[in-house]
């Protein structure tokens, strides 16, 4: 089969490798759609993080949907032909957090496309416990748009986990970072009943995409967040902030604009240490909560429920490429001007 692998140097390679076996307790999936993530760009660039985390020869990719084509021994809950999305965090099942039902906090988490072979291939194998089936639809009956959205349930889950970490009904929400996950988080907050939602970024194409989705969006280098608060009639600071960018400046700006008792859910991963005014964190009684991945599987149930009640995240998907055109897809994703970029595996390699 064709697979996109890292060779331990800048640049990925499309190669022929054997089709994977299906161990007991696992399923084999024919990949239909896959999303390109920032993690994949780090591996493609073979930066310091990738060198420390990834073994050369690994098949990359972790956002996908596909059709189950084989089930291993002992798998009774899933069947060939079902359409699914994959939870990319594989947990041990034995540590304290796993045994207590907090699998998203597993101390031995292995990540699809980082520590184990991922989904940028014609077939991928993963534990049956990591399968999320989409009921009532098959690979043959699903629309192209449905498959695109199912292919990004992993980052959609990140957005849901972040946006719903704190109650947002009637609250004023600041979202820093208008990438695909940031925009989906803003959409989730709106769907869940937030009052005012303000999105910040320094990329004008992404700000335009945010505006096209109905959000007040600004570049904080050109307009102060406090000015927008006044325009919206906000007499106090934001109640909830969703930090999705990893930018030190964004985090500092959040601290400056949160109300007393404000809460921040932080998904963006900084590349360098950040100096914060912790005196303000203390005196304003602020809460900062780190977010990593999705709660398994409470987040997935929330995602499905919101999709069933009208939340449509497909507008964040701006570009679609055939798997054979993966290089152009990566270039587009790296440009910073796109929303979510999708690879279509039904067009082959």
Distance of alpha carbon 114 from alpha carbon 44, whole angstroms: 12
Q: Which residues are catalytic?
A: 39, 42
Any idea where the domains of the chain sit in the sequence?
2-154+295-344, 166-290
CATH number belonging to domain 2-154+295-344: 3.90.180.10
Distance of alpha carbon 266 from alpha carbon 315, whole angstroms: 23
- Residue 115 CB-density burial (10 A; 0-12 exposed, 13-18 middle, 19+ buried): middle
238 beta partners: 258
The residues, ordered by sequence, that sit 6+ positions from 345 with a Cβ below 8 Å of its Cβ are 30, 31, 32, 33, 34, 66, 122, 323
The residues, ordered by sequence, that sit 6+ positions from 274 with a Cβ below 8 Å of its Cβ are 248, 251, 252
Tell the residue number behind the tokens 């987040």, with chain if given: 299
- The number of angstroms, rounded, from the C-alpha of 103 to the middle of its chain's C-alpha atoms is 18
Q: pTM value? A: 0.94
Compute the C-alpha angle 243/244/246, nearest 5°: 90
What's the pLDDT at 348? 54
Is-contact 9 317, C-beta < 8 A?
A: no
Residue by residue, pLDDT tens for the chain (349 residues) are 999 999 999 999 999 999 999 999 999 999 999 999 999 999 999 998 899 999 999 999 999 999 999 999 999 999 999 999 999 999 999 999 999 999 999 999 999 999 999 999 999 999 999 999 999 999 999 999 999 999 999 999 999 999 999 999 999 999 999 999 999 999 999 999 999 999 999 999 999 999 999 999 999 999 999 999 999 999 999 999 999 999 999 999 999 999 999 999 999 988 788 888 999 999 999 999 999 999 999 999 999 999 999 999 999 999 999 999 999 999 999 998 899 999 999 975 5
**DSSP-derived secondary structure letter, 113:** T
Looking at domain 166-290, its CATH superfamily turns out to be NAD(P)-binding Rossmann-like Domain (3.40.50.720)
What's the pLDDT at 25? 98
Distance of alpha carbon 316 from alpha carbon 313, whole angstroms: 6
What's the pLDDT at 67? 98
φ, ψ (nearest 5 deg) of residue 221: -75, -20
């Amino acid at each position: 089969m064709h697979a996109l692998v890292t060779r331990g140097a800048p640049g990925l390679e499309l190669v022929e490798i054997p089709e994977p076996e299906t161990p007991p307790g696992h399923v084999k999936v024919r990949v239909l759609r896959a999303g390109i993530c920032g993690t994949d760009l780090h591996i493609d660039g073979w930066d310091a993080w990738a060198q420390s985390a990834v073994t050369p020869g690994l098949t990359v990719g972790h956002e996908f949907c596909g059709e189950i084509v084989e089930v291993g021994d002992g798998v009774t809950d899933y069947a060939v032909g079902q359409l699914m999305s994959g939870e990319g965090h594989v947990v041990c099942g034995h540590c304290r957090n796993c045994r207590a039902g907090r699998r998203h906090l597993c101390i031995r988490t292995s990540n699809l496309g980082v520590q184990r072979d991922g989904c940028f291939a014609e077939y991928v194998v993963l534990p049956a416990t990591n399968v999320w089936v989409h009921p009532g639809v098959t690979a043959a009956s699903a629309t192209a748009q449905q498959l695109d959205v199912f292919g990004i349930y992993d980052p959609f889950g990140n957005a849901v986990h972040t946006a719903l970490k704190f109650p947002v009904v009637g609250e004023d929400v600041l979202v820093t970072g208008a990438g695909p996950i940031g925009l989906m988080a803003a959409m989730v907050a709106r769907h869940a009943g937030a009052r005012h939602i303000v999105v910040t970024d320094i990329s004008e194409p992404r700000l335009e995409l945010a505006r096209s989705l109905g959000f007040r969006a600004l570049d904080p280098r050109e307009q102060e967040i406090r000015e927008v608060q006044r325009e919206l009639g906000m007499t106090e600071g934001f109640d909830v902030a969703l930090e999705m960018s990893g930018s030190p400046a964004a985090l500092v700006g959040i601290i400056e604009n949160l109300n007393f008792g404000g809460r921040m859910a932080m998904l963006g991963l900084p590349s360098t240490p950040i100096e914060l005014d912790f005196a303000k964190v203390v005196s304003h009684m602020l809460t900062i909560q780190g977010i990593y991945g999705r709660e398994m599987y409470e987040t997935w149930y929330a995602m499905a429920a919101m999709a069933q009640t009208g939340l449509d995240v497909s507008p964040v998907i701006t570009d679609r490429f055939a798997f054979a055109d993966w290089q152009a897809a990566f270039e587009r994703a790296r440009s910073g001007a796109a929303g979510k970029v999708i690879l279509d595996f039904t067009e082959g390699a």
